Structure formats: structure tokens, C-alpha cells
Amino acid sequence: MPVVKATWDEIQLLARLIRAEAESEGDLGMLMVGNVGVNRVRADCLDFKQIRTIRQMVFQSPGGFEAVQKGYFYQRARSSEIRLAQKVIQGQRFHPAKYALWFFKPYGGGCPPQWYNQWNSGRFKSHCFFHPTRYTCPSVYRW
């Protein structure tokens, strides 16, 4: 059973997003980016109080994803990324993105322990992932 509602067009949007943000990180890295996206739709907290759909999450501005903001979100969704998007919509979660709402690629260094007051949950390849506390965003931890 899906953890967020998604139309076919939204599944393709999520697939395009995970490809644009993490294609070089392999399937697991793309799944983690998908986790962050699904978590943002479910969060109802912090910067994501008005985000209720995958479309809103993908095109959120300000505060959205670099791939969309900087224009390299142009590639079509391939069947492999569509399958990955469907997995995260069905609720599959992967550490360190299991509860994460943010990720970024640090330039020339390691992951800081905090980023904008959010805790580092770990690193996968070149991306650092950050999650809110249970107090600031309990809805991320409920499913």
C-alpha cells in the first residue's frame, strides 16, 4: 500500500528527480533521494507544512531540490528509475535517508554534524543526509 498518493505523472516526476539528483550514486543512492522526497510529502513540519503531493515537493521553491532549481531536471524517466520511485512510494526506506528531509553534497570535506540545525544521519557516497528530531517533526517517524 502506498505511503503517499501518486498519479502516473507524479511517479515519473519522482523518477526524474532521483535520476537528476543521484544518478551517479547508483540505485541505492537514488532510492535514498526518493526517501527524502517521500518524507517531505509526509512531513507536515518545518519547511514542508504546505507540501502534500509529489508534484508540490518536486517543484517547491524556495527550499526545493538543486536539480529542479538549476535546470538539470530535464531527462525523461527511464523504466529503472520509475521502478525505484515506485519502491519508495510503497514505503521502502533506506539508511541513512530513512527519516531524512535533506541531503547535500559537500565540496572538499566530510559531513558536518548538523546542517541548519538538523542532525546528520550519515553519508552515502557523495551525499550527506540530515533528519529532524522527533520533537520538531514527529510525522516523519510515524510510518
Distance CA 63, CA 6 (A): 21
105-109, Cβ contacts within 8 angstroms, sequence gap of 24 or more = none
pLDDT in tens, 66-97: 899 887 788 899 999 999 999 999 999 999 99
CA distance 112 to 89: 29
pLDDT of 38 higher than 90: yes
| DSSP for residue 81 | H
| Mean pLDDT, rounded, for 15-35 | 97
pTM of the model: 0.95
Domain boundaries, given as residue ranges, for the chain: 8-141
Query: Is pLDDT of 22 > 80?
Result: yes
**CA count, 13 A, side-chain hemisphere, 56:** 16
**Residue 72 CB neighbours (<10 A):** 12
CATH topology of domain 8-141: Arc Repressor Mutant, subunit A (1.10.10)
